[in-house]
Amino acid sequence: MAQLIDGSRIAKDLQDQLAQTILAHTNLGRRRPFLTVVLVGEDPASQIYVRHKEKACHSVGIDSETIHKPASISEQDLVALITQLNADPSVDGILVQLPLPKHIHSFNVISAINPSKDVDGLHPYNQGLLAMNKARHVPCTPSGIMKLLEAIDFKFEGKIAAVIGRSILVGSPVARLLLHRNTTVIHIHSKTPSPWALARQADLLVVAVGSAKLIDAKWVREGAVVIDVGIHRIDDKLCGDVDFDAVKDQASWITPVPKGVGPMTIACLLLNCFNAYVASFDKV
Ligand code: GUN
């Protein structure tokens, strides 16, 4: 049986440390960091994620607000809201919860965020810095995955990783981060022929495909580390993109769902927000 990578504990340790650091700042008489979350529409999963983010902010001493707009908002009005938040010196971080309604181009909205306040690391400028190994705000889930791998002392250099999925939120940035650590990356996506045959060569699988229990034993080499980014509800039970029971005896380490990657995404958002806050003092 694989060992579990306890994302809840690792995230809690990061958040406890961050709470202490924020306290040290506020004890000097500084204001608290501030995150604005923009939520558009009524997607139930997004509403739950946003609540978790707000709760986590408050637990470490970051103030936050959620601006909830109806699904009918125009792209132009959403961009105008972002422009207003960019100009507000009391806002350190801006996060636009994805997905957005179909009539809005998320690229245009994300591109409107001041890159310094883009705590999701999704702005083209921040993605470019990441591609050039000069990252400032790294997207939260990829950053959390790297911290999980560091926590189990994964040796990146010389290893083969299969990244399954190529979204801008997870697959593409995590592949970059692994490359920067001298891991050899096989990037698998929906058009890859015989994807399991490639994945089986890997020492590390990072799975972010958004399809419940897609990955079974034939994808996983004996002793591989498996990071499962997916989260789905089936018959009132949560599961990931990986069929946990089918691969647990083959992997050496595996993230559970829930309590694996999810808490790390939130912890890294808080860290990015704190970094944006600290950088705002350097600017004045
Ligand atoms: N939707 C699902 N995950 C995320 C995330 O990390 N950031 C944003 N903005 N939206 C998401």
For residue 250, the CA-to-ligand 1 centroid distance in Å is: 30
Nearest CA to ligand 1 atom 1: 98
One domain, residues 91 and 161 = no
For residue 67, the CA-to-ligand 1 centroid distance in Å is: 15
Number of domains observed in the structure of the chain: 2
**44-60 and 7-26 helices cross at what angle (nearest 10)?**
50
In a domain? residue 275: no
Model pLDDT, residue 284: 61
What does the DSSP 8-state code read for residue 242? Answer: B
Instruction: Judge residue 232's burial from the number of C-beta atoms within 10 Å of its C-beta, 0-12 exposed, 13-18 middle, 19 or more buried.
Output: middle
pLDDT averaged over 10-residue windows placed end to end, the chain, 284 residues: 97 98 97 98 96 98 98 98 98 98 98 98 98 98 98 98 98 98 98 98 98 98 98 96 98 98 98 97 74
In a domain? residue 26: no
Strands 184-188 and 232-234, by their bridges, are unpaired
Q: Please report, for the domain that includes residue 35, its CATH number.
A: 3.40.50.10860
User: Ligand 1 pocket by C-beta < 6 Å: which residues?
Assistant: 95-98, 120, 140-141, 169, 265
Catalytic residue among 53, 147, 159, 248: 53
Nearest CA to ligand 1 atom 8: 97
Model pLDDT, residue 282: 79
One domain, residues 245 and 160 = yes
**Choice from 48, 97, 111, 273 to test ligand 1 binding pocket (greatest atom count within 8 A of CB):** 97
| Ligand 1 atom closest to Cα of residue 139 | 6
In a domain? residue 248: yes
One domain, residues 146 and 245 = yes
- Contacts of residue 139, Cβ cutoff 8 Å, sequence gap at least 6: 120, 121, 122, 130, 168, 169, 170, 173
In a domain? residue 154: yes
One domain, residues 169 and 84 = no
Model pLDDT, residue 278: 97
One domain, residues 252 and 191 = yes
Show the domain range for 188: 140-261
One domain, residues 149 and 254 = yes
| Ligand 1 atom closest to Cα of residue 98 | 10
One domain, residues 81 and 162 = no
In a domain? residue 152: yes
Model pLDDT, residue 49: 96
One domain, residues 95 and 165 = no
Instruction: Judge residue 180's burial from the number of C-beta atoms within 10 Å of its C-beta, 0-12 exposed, 13-18 middle, 19 or more buried.
Output: middle
One domain, residues 216 and 250 = yes
Helix (H) or strand (E) run with residue 230 in it: none
In a domain? residue 167: yes
Q: Please report, for the domain that includes residue 187, its CATH number.
A: 3.40.50.720
In a domain? residue 199: yes
Model pLDDT, residue 40: 98
Where is the domain boundary, 56, 81, 115? 115
| Ligand 1 atom closest to Cα of residue 140 | 6
**Would residue 97 show up in a list of annotated catalytic residues for this protein?**
yes
In a domain? residue 1: no
One domain, residues 165 and 247 = yes
pTM exceeds cut of 0.75: yes
One domain, residues 75 and 35 = yes
Model pLDDT, residue 81: 98
One domain, residues 75 and 147 = no
